[in-house]
Structure 1
């Protein structure tokens, strides 16, 4: 299905509902949730997914797994999506929080084929088998580290979201501590308790995440300068250490390489087939 509303087809008795949607640059899907789990793949552009627990930046040709009934917001930066909306009971191995994953060529081609299905596609034959194979392939995906945790406290979360929107080298622990009327030591201790990172480490990672959308149109040198790195080499080293790939892989010239390998996405095991189609069933990995 292309550019279809999930609400119009959510009732259809299919474990997997594939929908392809094109979004204008800068489009924001404001806070919402789905009854089904969602596999959201960006065939083009960059997506930024926010929840109360964190922010996930999804580079081109990657995807994010969104748990069922999770309040989230998505900012689309030149994105054409291929989504799968999946009955939660069919994927007990689905991650409990959003997870960015790689999308290798086989999975990409299955997604391209699936979004041409009608909502009530046949469960027997090719279409049913593609739906089952999609779940097997998703269960094999490896989580990618394109996220930062969000503090649960409202005041700290406000500081973090402001920084994500506009990373500023002038922001220090002392500045943030003053905003929360705490000593720098007390603020740092509280921030680490809520996020697992020191404020400085959190800001450094947030700056690197901000580079991903920048690299859609900027060179590595330009992105390094705009984010305040001393040199492109320093930026490349930090980016590669954080994400496992150099920033050049995310520029217009380097786009198209998939990250990660084979692995799992969550705790637990379960059947990926969920009774969908006539292909063999097997346990999904988490």
Structure 2
């Protein structure tokens, strides 16, 4: 389903919410195509959501964090978590809503393999299990089984609640700099180095260095997805060389930028 106007978006949200919340079936699967720049406003579901970006890049925002969903990844969103979705590019999205799937805590990004990708393609055609069709039930059962086996990727970017610190984090995302240091941020906050490091970890759950590394890669994914050369992306993201960028990218995502994007092209 293509969306071209605010009315389309509102209609989609209303219809989808009604189907998801009122279906008697334990699992509901939906497929959508969204244009770049589209924003789905804050909402929540009574089911755990497996949100898969088959192509394109999406961002899910909650009160305490932001989760990037690059191509061939999915976000597992616990039931009841209020969130909004921003499309960084045109996105082909497939979502599975699971009534009996328990996932507590924060959302987490999962790397989707070929098997789950193929299962999703089949179940979204059905929307929900057909009680009179054995194959339908088997497909949904296998999908739920395989989702639990998918590896977690560190693409979540926690955001602090303290306004002044949140403003620094947002500015960093717009102009990432892997050389940014604790002392300069502490000075901007009018704090000692020790007080700042304590505050940052208390507000985000991770160290400043870890957050900085994640944020740089986080900010680079839309550029890669749009087809920009790796060297250009590395410099734009603040790295001094493509090699340094590639090393950090591989450490976080398990493959080089080139291999990663080749995999995404293969699944598109």
Q: Answer yes or no: same fold by TM over 0.5.
A: yes
2:144 aligned residue: 135
Deviation at 1:179, TM superposition (A): 3.9
Most deviating of 55-64 and 17-26: 55-64
| Aligned ranges 1:124-273 → 2 under 5 Å | 124-168=133-177, 172-216=181-225, 217-251=227-261, 253-256=262-265
Deviation at 1:6, TM superposition (A): 1.9
How many residue pairs end up in the alignment?
A: 254
Bigger RCO (CA 8 Å, 6+ sep): 1
Q: Distance in 2 between matches of 1:150 and 1:188?
A: 15
CA RMSD of aligned residues (A): 2.5
Q: Distance in 2 between matches of 1:238 and 1:102?
A: 18
- 2:78 aligned with 1:67, yes or no? yes
CA contact (8 A) 2:35 2:90 kept: yes
Q: Which runs of 5 or more structure 1 residues have no equivalent in the other structure? A: 259-286
Deviation at 1:197, TM superposition (A): 3.4
Output the TM-score relative to the length of structure 1.
Answer: 0.79
Q: Distance in 1 between matches of 2:203 and 2:46?
A: 28
1:78 aligned residue: 90
Deviation at 1:129, TM superposition (A): 2.0
Q: Distance in 2 between matches of 1:146 and 1:100?
A: 6
Q: Distance in 2 between matches of 1:136 and 1:121?
A: 18
Q: Which runs of 5 or more structure 2 residues have no equivalent in the other structure? A: 4-11
SS in 2 for 1:8: helix
1:39 aligned residue: 50
CA contact (8 A) 2:41 2:85 kept: yes
Moved over 6 A (4+): none
CA contact (8 A) 2:74 2:112 kept: yes
Deviation at 1:136, TM superposition (A): 0.8
Q: Distance in 1 between matches of 2:111 and 2:132?
A: 27
Deviation at 1:172, TM superposition (A): 4.3
For residue 17 of structure 1, the aligned residue among 20, 25, 28 is 28
Deviation at 1:122, TM superposition (A): 3.3
Deviation at 1:205, TM superposition (A): 2.0
Deviation at 1:195, TM superposition (A): 2.6
Deviation at 1:191, TM superposition (A): 1.0
SS in 2 for 1:115: helix
SS in 1 for 2:86: strand
